Amino acid sequence: MTEDALEKSLDETLDRLHAEIKLVEDRRAKLDVLRKAGNAFPNDFRRKDFSSDLHQQYGKHSNEMLEAEPRVVNVAGRMMLKRVMGKASFATVQDMSGRIQLYIANDTAGAEVHDAFKHYDLGDILGAGGTLFRTRTGELSVRVTNLRLLTKSLRPLPEKFHGLTDQEQKYRQRYLDLITNENSRKVFITRSRIIQSIREFLVARDYLEVETPMMHPIPGGAAARPFVTHHNALDMQLYLRIAPELYLKRLMIGGMERVFEINRSFRNEGISTRHNPEFTMLEFYEAYQDYTYLMDLTETMLRELAAKVLGTTRITYQGREIDLAPPFERLTITQAIQKFHPEYTDAQLGDRSFLISTLHALGIACKPEDGIGGLQLALFDETTEHLLFEPVFIVDYPAEVSPLARRNDINPAVTDRFELYIAGREIANGFSELNDPEDQAARFLEQANAKEAGDVEAMHYDADFIHALEYGLPPAAGEGIGIDRLVMLFTDSPSIRDVILFPQLRQEN
């Protein structure tokens, strides 16, 4: 940017700031007048009607029908549009369900009310009573007979009401994004419906919703770096939950044979379009089932969710259609690699030296203790994962990277585990549970040794969980589904920040 352009940009920014300061000063002066007149922030107006209900019930009524049977309404919301004329004015108010137009005239509301309205500002929150009618242009409106200013807005809304133009400011000031952007409101309404529908799906199958601790003495249930905190009264170090898995399994040991938790978990890792340090996850477990049952159940769940929430099993994500109705494909790690990269032979994918040299050429570091399975997974992550657009279960994960999953009876080098990929990202992870306490202890020890060797994401040795396992965990299967990523998929959102109301951001200067 040239010096002249920089100076011009700075001048424009200062002009905008000065204009906003002036607007805020004017609004504060209006608030002072309101304070002197009485209660400036009343809380005795009771809304009886939502705008969407009125449009739904009376949207097809003619003006003659509305005049013949007057419908008295009480609405409230934020003023988003305003047109002041001589003896009559119009305003559009927005509530949680939508918008409706107000008609304020001297002959119905009174000259005093109308005059007061002329001093109201966009963003003010109003309460209005009156009757429904249609304007000459056919718009369903409220002919106002009483109008009150309920909350004075001291700051102007983003210009022209097209929402915030700066993407980061949308995340920092989500309240403004929600006020001005209908699409953002729809995303979070959809998110709420997805979570509610998941609950209904599992409860209908006799799952019990439970709550487990969010502060753990030992972080477990996933390979991740935890957030560390300190409990003053107990004088002990605690970790924010990285996963609820080990506590849910304890409940199964206790006889709760079908449990689920929609939980907040925390991982002290990178931030990206797919990752937020604080995220929402569904975990559910069922005794006397295996990972193949979970894959079938997951397909059914996603189809029912899509049909119930979106009204279709065909969804569009970033311009490409995904059909959840057909059976999901099931591939091993090597089968998936070869599907998209047929140049790799079975012999090459089973050759440790070849895998290491290939990964080095791709810029991927390998550790001396990495086995064939771990190297294959690293190659899959780098070359294939992002290509898995259609729903596909990747199965038979290596035991070396699956410390909580049951080994396969035929090939103990792999586990009865799957990950579901849709649109190039992991949506779910599930497996038949490891319920052999001695095998689990040995795998925890391997993880502890890896942590000692410098792997910050390796698991701790959890002696209390081993103690619980020794009482007997029934054969079971469990799964975790990333709620945020599922919402991204269902709402066609490119970033996880678009589906989290207040995503984590760098501190603003």
Q: pLDDT value at position 460?
A: 87
What is the band of 374 on the pLDDT scale with cuts at 50, 70, 90? very high
Average pLDDT over every residue of 80-99: 95
* CB of 131 closer than 8 Å to CB of 72: yes
For the whole model, what pTM was predicted?
0.92
Query: For the purposes of burial, counting CB atoms within 10 Å of the CB of 368, is it exposed (0-12), middle (13-18) or buried (19 or more)?
Result: exposed
Residue 370, pLDDT score: 86
Structure-token pair, residue 45: 């107006």
- What are the tens digits of pLDDT across the range 9-67? 777 778 788 888 999 999 999 999 999 999 999 999 999 999 999 999 999 999 999 99
Q: Which amino acid is at 407?
A: R
- What is the rounded CA–CA span in Å between residue 281 and residue 419? 15
Q: Give residue 125's pLDDT.
A: 98
**Angle at CA of residue 206, ends 201 and 212, nearest 5°:** 90
R_g (Cα) of the chain, nearest Å: 29
In the chain, the amino acid numbered 233 is: A
Q: What are the tens digits of pLDDT across the range 353-365?
A: 999 999 999 999 8
Contact between 492 and 318 (Cβ < 8 Å) = yes
Nearest to 195 by CA among 504, 402, 500: 500
Average pLDDT, stretch 459-466? 92
DSSP 171-213: HHTHHHHHHH-HHHHHHHHHHHHHHHHHHHHHHTTT-EE----
- In which residue are the tokens 């209660």 written? 39
Compute the average pLDDT of residues 105-115.
Answer: 95
DSSP state letter for 459: P
pLDDT at site 509:
67
290 C-beta neighbours (distance < 10 Å), count: 17
Please name the amino acid found at residue 267: R
* Sign of torsion over alpha carbons 73, 79, 82, 88: positive
E strand map for 359-460 = 392-395, 417-422, 425-432
Predicted confidence (pLDDT) at residue 163 exceeds the cutoff of 60: no
Return the number of other C-beta atoms located less than 10 Å from residue 203's C-beta: 13
pLDDT of 313-327, one tens digit each? 999 999 999 999 999
Q: In this structure, what token pair is assigned to residue 430? A: 């599930």
- Residues of the chain with pLDDT > 90: what percent? 85
- Please tell me the predicted confidence (pLDDT) of residue 428: 98
